[in-house]
Homo-oligomer: A and B are copies of this chain.
Amino acid sequence: MSLASATCDKMLLAGRAAIDDGTTIINLPKGIRMPILIRVMTLVFSLSLALPVLADEGMWTYDNFPTAKMQAKYGWAPDAAWLEHARLASIRLTSGCSASLVSSSGLVMTNHHCVRECVSDLADAKHDYIANGFYAATAADEKKCPAMEANQLVKITDVTQQIEAATAGKSDRAFHEAERAAKAQIESACGTASDVRCQVVTLYEGGIYDLYKYKRYQDVRIVFAPEAAAAFFGGDPDNFTFPRYDLDVSFVRIYDDGKPLRADNFLKFAAKGVKQGDIAFTSGNPGSTERADTLAQLEFQRDIAQPFVLNLFSELRGVLTEFSRRGPEEARTANTLLFGIENSLKAIKGRQLALVQGPLIADQARAELEFRKRVAADPKLAGTYGEAWDAIATAVAHQRKISVRNSLLERFPQWMSVLLGHAVTLNRYAAEVGKPDGQRLEEYSEANFPALRQEIVSPAPAHADLEKTVLTWWLTKVREYLGTSDPDVRTLLGTRSPQEIATMLVSGTKLGDASFRTRLLTGGASAIDAYHDPLIDFARLLDAPARAVRADSEDSVKAVITKNAALIAKARFALEGTGAYPDATFTLRLSYGAVAGYEENGRSIAPTTNFAGAYSHATGRDPFKLPDSWVKAQKWVDPKAQLDFVSTNDIIGGNSGSPVIGRGGEAIGLIFDGNIQSLGGNFGYDGSANRAVAVDVTGIAEALKKIYHADRLVSELTH
């Protein structure tokens, strides 16, 4: 199976959501889902604190590319024409991925795991496109992906002055309302046609507001996807590692007015494989980073949040692994949850390594001290921003005390249990819907109602045995972490055992039935309140302690951190301007770097792999079982043709599907992962071992030719 389908990615993001980490949630424009895939992250040095940008660090906006810096290091840097070409060839998929145009006929290259949902939606009883792959041998065979939209960034306009004029003199709530109104006005003025998408992007925490104008395409058709076993060869064991042998590629085509899009700017496939030292750019949409976290926040991640979720998820992984061994039905039903858990575990393990092994914490301590001195030295800055770090530290000290309770009572149950999630949502909807919009819990606002309704009415089934298992386990963890003498624990468990309670909740509810849930939702608060069963009554019991700790967390932790983090970012912008890059915002960024191997545990890792390596890595056992097409084609495939490679580019979740672009503006690769050392990229970047993992375009061409005989596609890509 592929690593990061939209579902899996939701899992992974939820994996973070299961930690009470005080992260500000990024509000994406409607219709844009959260960035797919956190397979892609990076590591160690926070540039947020007035330190020079190191090595190949940086997710640069196209209108602020550090030409001089790159020139100094590589003796060459792209000019304006190069940049425009790369920008216009770059595509954002609203499913949360990046992509690129690779032919003049609107052909788009992205990852297999970025089209997994499309391929799955198009499958039927006779056609398992996930297992067997998909190839449109003729133009007529290209099939429309039901839910895919492609965006092309056509223009960036600075609108900082307009926003600042609207918000001048305002603060807190009034500020945010004025900012929101000004943004909406600018976006409307930019264009409301169905083929235009306009978004005001807040960069440098409000130091700059840019209007991003996209051309939107809603007719996107699938052209090619390999078998999942080839795309995600090596499965969880190889996830976030290198050497790798994955063909994590797919092709879709943008149609405009029912015809293939005529594209002036596209990336030609390179004819030769990459080699050590080659200049490499990635152009894509990194989702979010927290590189401006203060020392107190990093220590909280290192000491509390990440270890908690690592231990918790490790145990749940064990439970689900053993549950899956009971039989194929158990394996099938637990698969999605287990997959999300494993992916999260590796990702968070990488982040934790960055904090405990790398120089990040010590460097941050030193850099923070220095930067605070610079702020203190300027009376105006000191008065406005000087207290921000201590305010965050105080909030984090409180967070250390409440985060485990918040995770266990408020975040974790809904995330982990489909049924309890429905019960909590319905019960809270009944309580919230009567309140003024602004006073509701965020996810129950009018704007979020479509998503909430979608979740409730979705026929995605709950599996009783799995639900009993995870709920039993969750209740034992609540008891273990909060303690048997805790009043909330006594309220929830009473005198029954976790297993008794879980069985009662799952067996006694009708909420597993989507049509019943829909009726309750349609009936509104009165219908919901009138309904009783053990599960929804338990959700009511859970509500008070869960709301209490959530309110404490939102008021005393998140609000304080959000406000003061913005102050720190503004202080930084005041002292540094655009000499640094802004934190990631799931908008288009360019990173520069080079193809480069690295050292790991004293071993030297070569920068490229080839098909011979793939065949020798195969064992015939899942997840190291190559598909039959590969086995049959072995005699034809050039064993020395390159398959995957690593480069120093600074990327993170959302960069999935980004093209790797060579000096000549050609496609040389396709990003699909980062190594384990890159996973600290959320907090900073360490060029020594942080690597982006890509498929070599010459490997893609070799496979299309020799394994898939996709002649029409090969011809389009290489002629």
Contacts and interface: CB of A to CB of B under 8 A. Distances in A.
Interface of A: 234, 236-238, 241, 243, 302-304, 307, 310-312, 314-323, 325-326, 349, 352, 356-357, 401, 469, 473, 476, 479-480, 483-485, 493-497, 500, 601-602, 617, 619-622, 624
Contact of A624 (B312, B317, B484): B484
Q: Which 9 A-B pairs have the closest CB atoms?
A: A318-B318, A322-B322, A495-B619, A314-B314, A318-B319, A315-B318, A303-B356, A497-B621, A314-B315
25 contacts: A234-B484, A237-B483, A238-B484, A241-B483, A303-B356, A303-B357, A304-B356, A307-B307, A307-B356, A310-B314, A315-B317, A318-B318, A318-B320, A318-B321, A318-B473, A319-B321, A319-B322, A321-B322, A322-B322, A484-B624, A493-B619, A495-B620, A495-B621, A495-B624, A500-B621
A320 B315 CA distance: 10
Contacts of A323: 322
A410 B483 CA distance: 36
Contact of A316 (B307, B316, B318, B602): B318
A416 to B, nearest CB: 13
A622 B484 CA distance: 13
Given A303-B356, A303-B357, A322-B322, A617 B485 contact: yes
B469 A307 contact: no
A308 B326 CA distance: 28
Nearest to A323: B322
Contacts of A304: 356
B243 A485 contact: yes
B496 A619 contact: yes
B500 A307 contact: no
A638 to B, nearest CB: 21
Contact of A473 (B311, B321, B401): B321
Contacts of A241: 483-485
Contacts of A237: 476, 479-480, 483-484
A347 to B, nearest CB: 14
> Which interface residue of A318, A480, A494 has the most chain B CB atoms within 10 A?
A318
A404 to B, nearest CB: 9
Given A322-B318, A322-B322, A620-B495, A352 B307 contact: yes
B602 A401 contact: yes
A497 B618 CA distance: 11
Nearest to A234: B484
> Which interface residue of A302, A349, A497 has the most chain B CB atoms within 10 A?
A497
A532 B84 CA distance: 69
A621 B484 contact: no
Nearest to A349: B311
A346 B622 CA distance: 35
Contacts of A243: 485
Contact of A311 (B314, B321, B624): B314
A318 B314 contact: yes
Given A307-B310, A310-B310, A484-B617, 4 more contacts: A234-B484, A236-B480, A302-B356, A326-B326
A333 to B, nearest CB: 14
